[in-house]
Amino acid sequence: MSQTIIEGKAKIQVTPQKIVSKDMEVFYNPVMELNRSVSVLLLSCLGRKNMQFGLPLAGSGVRGIRFLLELKKSMIKNVSFNDYDKAALNSIKKNLALNEIKSKKVLLRNDDANLFLLNSSGFDYIDIDPFGSPNAFLDSSIKRISRDGILAITATDTSALCGTYAKACKRKYWATPLRNEIMHEIGLRILIRKCQLIGSQFDKALIPLYSYSKDHYMRVFFSCHKGKSKVDAVLKQHGTYGDAGPLWLGALWDSSLASDMADCFLKKSKGKGLEGMEKELYRFLESIKKESLIDSFGFYEIPALAKKYNLKSIPKQEYLTSEIMKRGYKVSETHFVLNSLRSDISERELVSLMKK
Ligand SMILES: C[S@@+](CC[C@H](N)C(=O)[O-])C[C@H]1O[C@@H](n2cnc3c(N)ncnc32)[C@H](O)[C@@H]1O
């Protein structure tokens, strides 16, 4: 029995399932609501005009429908929904009708994602949201992303990227992962470099605008710039971190965009008490806003540091934060792991502070 759910401004007909998997008749994952809300927010903050959106792996169509309902009309030239599954395409049609979208801006395709992309004349926004690794779709999406376009990449094969299956990471991402408290940041940076390497083949420099790791997935929004020297500048920022890598050593966020996104969300919610997913989204945006201002690789997981140095007690995070700031360093929480601090303070100085 199907039921109608509300996500953002969209109504979506889904068949509730105990387990969300690729075997569902039409794929809809409620956990990814935050992922879709972040996409809407990022695009609203970029505030571009007349964009062509390509959704090669559209599933139920929820993401594109939210774009059509929640972004300013002037932003959208057209939205192309594609899925190779006929049931998904029928569901997209039903969901468009349910939301009374009859727009000429909507285009529907029932093709393999790579064919859909390669047969197109290109898009200003492409969203790669696959089951598992995005690898199969990197060539075609990078070829078809426009100059200054936005390429959004999701990867759900975190067991490879975070080092549970290190050999798989080497095969798929050409890099060595790490299995410790910063494994999610390392995995995200490995994913970024892989996308950038594919971009470099086509003289396209992919600069991360907003990247994160959450639940079972990693997500990166790149802005794409054409030019050999821009690509060379990206490649210069690849390197290793101890035994891990090669990976992207540059910034994970455009800090002014991260700040706009958090502020815009707060303004939209008009100070009302946030609950559920909105509360989670607010905390998430605020956390990235703060950590995006700190130029550091990795972060300190305080309990892990206490264990490493055999400290008998762990100081409170608020105390450490204020002491680090008193010493003139930057510090913030990180969205990657709880009880952790991102800071430009050295490990030695932080440990001496913790000992006090
Ligand atoms: C993870 S779901 C996408 C979910 C959707 N983007 C959302 O936000 O709800 C992946 C979708 O890609 C489709 N798919 C997988 N491989 C494909 C391919 N090679 N070509 C076209 N569609 C594909 C599946 O049928 C499925 O609907």
Q: Which CATH number covers residue 71? A: 3.40.50.150
What atom of ligand 1 comes closest to residue 137's alpha carbon? 19
In this structure, are 236 and 267 located in the same domain?
A: no
The DSSP letter of residue 309 is T
> Quick check: is 296 in a domain?
no
What atom of ligand 1 comes closest to residue 26's alpha carbon? 27
Which residue ranges have their beta carbon within 6 Å of ligand 1?
27-28, 32, 36, 57-60, 62-63, 83-85, 88, 112-113, 129-131
Mean pLDDT over all residues of the chain? 95
Whole-angstrom Cα distance, residue 285 to residue 279?
A: 10
Relative to beta strand 76-82, strand 51-55 is: parallel
Interval 188-210: pLDDT, tens:
999 999 999 999 999 999 999 99
> Quick check: is 42 in a domain?
yes
Per the model's pLDDT, the better-predicted residue between 25 and 284 turns out to be 284
CA distance readout (Å), 85 to 8, 19, 58, 142, 213: 25, 20, 10, 23, 28
In this structure, are 198 and 323 located in the same domain?
A: no
In this structure, are 269 and 334 located in the same domain?
A: no
User: Which residues share a beta bridge with 155?
Assistant: 218
What CATH number corresponds to the domain at position 321? 3.30.56.70
Q: Name the residue type at position 306.
A: A
- Calculate how far, in angstroms, residue 332's C-alpha sits from the geometric centre of ligand 1: 36
- Calculate how far, in angstroms, residue 80's C-alpha sits from the geometric centre of ligand 1: 14
In this structure, are 162 and 278 located in the same domain?
A: no
pLDDT of residue 24: 72
| Count of domains observed in the chain | 3
pLDDT mean over 225-244: 97
Q: Name the residue type at position 204.
A: K
pTM: 0.96
> Quick check: is 242 in a domain?
yes
- Pick from 3-7, 19-23, 102-106, 191-195 the range whose average pLDDT is largest: 191-195
Where does 134-182 have alpha helices with state H? 138-144, 158-161, 166-173
User: Which residues share a beta bridge with 205?
Assistant: 225
Q: Which of 270, 263, 255, 317 shows the shortest CA–CA distance to 286?
A: 263
The residues near 160 (Cβ < 8 Å, ≥ 6 apart) are: 133, 168, 169, 172, 173, 177
pLDDT mean over 22-37: 86
In this structure, are 209 and 139 located in the same domain?
A: yes
Structural domain that includes position 29: 3-257
Structure tokens that stand for 238 in this block: 């690849």
pLDDT tier at 18, thresholds 50, 70, 90: low
Interval 112-125: pLDDT, tens:
999 999 999 999 99
> Quick check: is 104 in a domain?
yes
> Quick check: is 13 in a domain?
yes
